[in-house]
Amino acid sequence: MRTSIFGFALLSGVDAFFFSKGTTRQWNGNTYACKCFPGDSCWPSNLEWNILNATVGGNLRVNLPPAASCYNTFQGPLGNISTYDASKCAMVTSNFGDEQFQVELPTAGLWTYFTNDTCRPTTNPSDSCTLGHYPVLYITAKTVGHIQTGIAFAKLNNLRLVIRNTGHDFLGRSVGWGSLVINTHSFKSISTTNSWTGPGGYSGPAITAGAGVQAFEALAHLNSLSPKRIMVTGECSTVGISGGLVQGGGHGPLTNFHGFLADTALQFKVITADGVLRTANPSVNPDLFWALKGGGPASYGVIVEATYKTFADLPSSGFTLDINLSTNQNETLFWEAVRAFHSYSTHFVDNGLYVYYELGPVPMTLHVQPIVGINKTIAELQAIVQPLFNDLNALGIGYLTTNQSFSTFYDLYNAMFEPEMAGNSALTGGWTLARTDVENNHPAIIQSFKTVLSAGSFIVGHMWNAGHGLSESEWNKSAVHPGFRNVVDKLITIVPVSGNAPLVEKAEAQNRLTNVVDGALRAASPNGVSYVNEADPFQPNWQTAFWGTNYPRLVSIRQRYDPTGLFYAVSTPGTEKWEQIEYGTRLCKKLN
Strand ranges, E, within 398-504: 400-406, 426-434, 458-463, 487-496
pLDDT for 20 equals: 57
Please write the tens of the pLDDT for every residue from 312-325: 999 999 999 999 87
Q: What are phi and psi of 86, to 5 degrees?
A: -60, -45
Please write the tens of the pLDDT for every residue from 338-368: 999 999 999 999 999 999 999 999 889 999 9
Give the mean model confidence (pLDDT) for residues 389-411: 97
Domains along the sequence of the chain with CATH: 22-185+567-590 (3.30.43.10), 190-312 (3.30.465.10), 316-550 (3.40.462.20)
Please enumerate in sequence order all residues whose Cβ is within 8 A of that of 174, keeping only pairs 6 or more positions apart, or say none: 107, 108, 109, 110, 162, 164, 166, 167, 168
Smallest CA-to-CA distance from 254 within 352, 339, 120 is with: 352
Full-prediction pTM beyond 0.85?
yes
DSSP per residue, 154-185? HHHTTB-EEEESS---SSSTT--TT-EEEE-T
End-to-end CA distance of the chain: 30
H helices, E strands: number in the chain: 21, 25
Give the mean model confidence (pLDDT) for residues 435-441: 98
Q: What are phi and psi of 54, to 5 degrees?
A: -65, -35
Degrees to nearest 5, angle at CA 324 with 319 and 325: 155
Give, for 49, the enclosing helix (H) or strand (E): helix 46-55
Q: What are phi and psi of 454, to 5 degrees?
A: -70, -20
Answer for the pair 173, 72: CB distance below 8 angstroms, yes or no: no
Please write the tens of the pLDDT for every residue from 448-489: 999 999 999 999 999 999 999 999 999 999 999 999 999 999
Please write the tens of the pLDDT for every residue from 215-264: 999 999 999 999 999 999 999 999 999 999 999 999 999 999 999 999 99
Cα distance between residue 239 and residue 213, in whole Å = 9
Give the mean model confidence (pLDDT) for residues 407-412: 98
Type of residue found at 64: L
Answer for the pair 427, 113: CB distance below 8 angstroms, yes or no: yes
Please write the tens of the pLDDT for every residue from 29-78: 999 999 999 999 999 999 999 999 999 999 999 999 999 999 999 999 99
Q: How high is the mean pLDDT of the chain? A: 95
